[in-house]
Amino acid sequence: MTEIMGFEPDVGAGEWPAPHKNPTEMAQNVVVPRRHPGRWIAVVIIIAISLQIVVAVARNANFHWDVYLTYLFHPQVVRGVMWTLLLTIVAMATAIVIAALLVIMRASDNPILRGLAYAWVWFFRGTPIYTQLLFWGLFAVLFPSLSLTIPFGPEIVSVETRYIVTPALAAICGLGFNESAYLTEIFRAGFNSIDRGQAEAAQALGMRPAKIWWRILMPQAMRVIIPPTGNETIGMLKMTSLVLADCRLRYVEGVGRLGRRPVGHDGGEYLDLTGGKLSIHIDQRQVQPSVIDSAGLSAFPQN
């Protein structure tokens, strides 16, 4: 009765409280969120430092922003970006195919295939990428010609290496082979994350090994394989800048073939490679294009 009339007995105090103005009104607790002044201080400090960096870089005349804006969308720059993307895609595709084969070889019962896969991963993971690019860049120098011969017999066919191992192929081999070793471990970790009972159940149903890989193991392993493969693709995009090593080697190789010989009209211009240092002496800026092309230097801009 007292609850209907708006009175609530206070058992602890032993007194009747004053009646509520609204019998249906209920008391609610007001939750005050915890304040974090340190976060706001950190945000202010970060914004202040960021603005100082932006202003310092924007007002620095040594960056030559006018030149940057002039050549930002220059055809040669855009062409270089397209070649970078193309090289990344082709090298990653090559690495993925090789890594998939290596994973199958590692899971094989054949000890020779397992040994070859292990040796491949061990070699390319243990060798610096720059060293591998240097090797492929000098491949035509180390092996001037590639030939198919009968063992202890005559030569069947022979071709110059520089027509097969082009600069583009050398870059793809260097980047793709190196990346395949890392992707092999990523793929193997993805397949090892699947319970072995999945493959055993598929074998009990009479499925072939190829179908087990394609229908059972591959879809489940993708959730583990795709994220790190995306990271490796980003790394490959940045790693393509190391292909410059191949270009430098071909430049030095071409100069080395010239030796110290005149390349100008009056003999006043010559290229010299002495003491392991490359020095270019030009008295006149007139160089015969035929000599430059024969040295393999036509890809470099001439002033």
What is the rounded CA–CA span in Å between residue 86 and residue 79? 11
CATH class of the domain defined by 75-245: mainly alpha
**Once rounded to an integer, what is the mean pLDDT over residues 53-71?**
91
**What pLDDT does 301 receive?**
44
- Whether pLDDT at 264 is above 50: no
The pLDDT value recorded for residue 44 is 96
What pLDDT is attached to residue 141?
Answer: 86
- Report the 3 state secondary structure along 126-164: HCCHHHHHHHHHCHHHHCCEEEEECCCCCEEEEEEHHHC
Please determine, for residue 267, whether its predicted confidence score (pLDDT) is greater than 70.
Answer: no
According to the model, what pLDDT value does residue 300 have? 41
Beta bridge partner(s), residue 148: 157
3-state helix, strand, coil in the chain (%, to 5): 60, 10, 30
Measured distance CA(191)–CA(222) in Å, rounded: 9
b/e burial code for range 247-263 (CB count within 10 A of at least 16 → b): eebbbebbbeebeeeeb
Mean pLDDT of 197-206: 87
With 0-12 / 13-18 / 19 or more C-beta atoms within 10 angstroms meaning exposed / middle / buried, residue 179 is buried
Looking at per-residue pLDDT, the higher value among 232 and 148 belongs to 232
Report strand pairing: 261-262 vs 145-149: unpaired
281 φ, ψ to 5°? -110, 120
Residue 270 has pLDDT above 50, yes or no: no
**In this predicted model, which residue has the larger pLDDT, 54 or 155?**
54
Q: What pLDDT was estimated at residue 263?
A: 40
- How much is the pLDDT for 297? 41
| Contact between 87 and 171 (Cβ < 8 Å) | yes
Confidence of residue 197 (pLDDT cuts 50, 70, 90): confident
Phi and psi, residue 156, nearest 5°: -85, -55
pLDDT band at 33 (very low <50, low <70, confident <90, very high): confident
Residue with tokens 């006018």: 66
For the chain, first and last CA: distance in Å? 105
Alpha-carbon span 232 to 246, nearest angstrom: 22
| pLDDT for residue 214 is more than 80 | yes
Phi-psi region of 301 (alpha: psi -120 to 50; beta: other; left: phi over 0): beta
Token output for 20: 């509520």
Separation between Cα atoms, residue 101 and residue 244, nearest integer Å:
29
Measured in degrees and rounded to the nearest 5, phi and psi for residue 114 equal -65, -40
Looking at this protein, which amino acid is placed at residue 265?
H
Give the span between the Cα atoms of 91 and 171, in whole angstroms: 8
> Lowest-pLDDT range, 140-154, 222-236, 252-266?
252-266
Which pLDDT belongs to residue 183? Answer: 95
Distance between CA atoms of 71 and 84, rounded to whole angstroms?
17
Question: pLDDT: is 74 or 266 the higher one?
Answer: 74
Q: Which amino acid is at 162?
A: R
43/26 Cα distance (integer angstroms):
40
Q: Is the dihedral of CA 164, 113, 104, 106 positive or negative?
A: negative
State both tokens at 120.
């491949």
> What does the pLDDT read at residue 16?
57
| Residue 276 in this model has a pLDDT that exceeds 50 | no
Mean pLDDT along residues 25-39: 78
The pLDDT of 183-211, averaged and rounded, is 88
Q: Give domain limits for the chain.
A: 75-245, 259-294
Closest C-alpha among 89, 116, 135, 149 to residue 246:
135
Confidence category of residue 280, pLDDT binned at 50, 70, 90: very low
Minimum mean pLDDT range among 19-23, 143-147, 181-185:
19-23
Please state, in angstroms and rounded to a whole number, the distance separating the CA atoms of residues 98 and 56: 47
The mean pLDDT value for 143-157 works out to 82
Instruction: Please determine, for residue 64, whether its predicted confidence score (pLDDT) is greater than 70.
Output: yes
